[in-house]
C-alpha cells in the first residue's frame, strides 16, 4: 500500500537547520567595518568542507527553473566528500528539502524550509537533500562546491511512499 506523507515547509532558521548544515545570512554574526567604513564584512558564515581526497573549492552559478508546488519528492542526494553551499543571487525565496539519515528510510525523516531571498544554505557533508528548488520564476544561485577525484554524489530514489512538500 502506498503511503502519502505531506511535509509543510517552515521558515529557515539557523537553529532548525543546524542538524543539516549552516544558514548563510548577513544578520547571523557581528560585522566588521572595512574599506574605510564604506563596507561591512560578515565573515565565517559557513563551515566549508571541500578538501577531502585532494578536492578543491570551486564557485559556480546555477540557474534553476521554478518547481510547481506541492513538490513531490522522488529522490534525494548527498555528497560524502564535501559540503555544498547555495546563495541566491536574485533575492528570491527558495525551498530547501533535507532528511535525517536513518535505517527506517528517508521518507519519514524529511524536513522542509522556506529560505528568504537573503538566506543561503551550506549542506554539511553526507546530508541528504533535494536538488535546488526555485519557486515561481527562474532563479540564479552562487554555489560553493568541490572539484576533484572520487565519487562525491550519492542518489537515492524514494519508493513506497509519496512525499509531498507544501509551503503554507
Q: What is the pLDDT along the chain (168 residues), one digit of tens a residue?
A: 567 899 999 999 999 999 999 999 998 568 899 999 999 999 999 999 999 999 999 999 999 999 999 999 999 999 999 999 999 999 999 999 999 987 677 888 999 999 999 999 999 999 999 999 999 999 999 999 999 999 999 999 988 779 999 998
Place of cell 541528504: 128
How far is C-alpha 139 from the chain's CA centre?
A: 14
The Cα–Cα gap between 90 and 49 comes to 25
Domain boundaries, the chain: 3-166
Which residues of 79-153 form beta strands (DSSP E)?
A: 84-88, 94-99, 110-115, 120-123, 128-129, 133-134, 139-147
Determine how many CB atoms are found less than 10 A away from the CB of residue 120: 25
The Cα–Cα gap between 142 and 61 comes to 5
Q: What helix, strand, coil percent values describe the chain, rounded to 5? A: 5, 45, 45
Q: Classify burial at 106, counting beta carbons within 10 Å of its beta carbon; exposed 0-12, middle 13-18, buried 19 or more.
A: buried
Supply the mean pLDDT for the chain. 94
How many Cα neighbours within 13 Å face the side chain of 6? 6
The Cα–Cα gap between 114 and 10 comes to 6
Residue 164 Cα distances to 28, 35, 105, 158, angstroms? 30, 47, 16, 12
| 3-166 under CATH 3.10.310.10, yes or no | no
The Cα–Cα gap between 7 and 112 comes to 7
Amino acid at each position: 500500500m502506498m503511503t502519502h506523507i505531506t511535509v509543510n515547509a517552515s521558515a529557515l532558521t539557523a537553529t532548525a537547520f543546524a542538524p543539516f548544515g549552516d544558514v548563510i545570512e548577513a544578520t547571523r554574526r557581528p560585522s566588521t567595518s572595512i574599506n574605510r567604513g564604506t563596507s561591512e564584512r560578515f565573515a565565517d558564515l559557513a563551515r566549508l568542507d571541500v578538501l577531502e581526497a585532494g578536492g578543491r573549492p570551486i564557485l559556480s552559478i546555477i540557474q534553476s527553473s521554478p518547481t510547481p508546488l506541492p513538490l513531490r519528492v522522488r529522490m534525494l542526494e548527498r555528497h560524502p566528500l564535501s559540503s555544498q553551499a547555495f546563495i541566491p543571487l536574485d533575492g528570491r525565496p527558495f525551498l530547501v528539502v533535507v532528511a535525517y539519515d536513518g535505517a527506517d528510510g528517508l521518507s519519514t525523516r524529511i524536513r522542509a524550509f522556506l529560505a528568504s531571498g537573503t538566506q543561503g544554505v551550506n549542506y554539511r557533508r553526507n546530508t541528504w537533500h533535494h536538488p535546488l528548488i526555485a519557486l515561481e520564476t527562474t532563479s540564479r544561485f552562487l554555489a560553493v562546491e568541490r572539484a576533484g577525484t572520487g565519487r562525491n554524489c550519492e542518489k537515492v530514489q524514494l519508493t513506497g511512499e509519496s512525499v509531498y512538500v507544501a509551503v503554507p
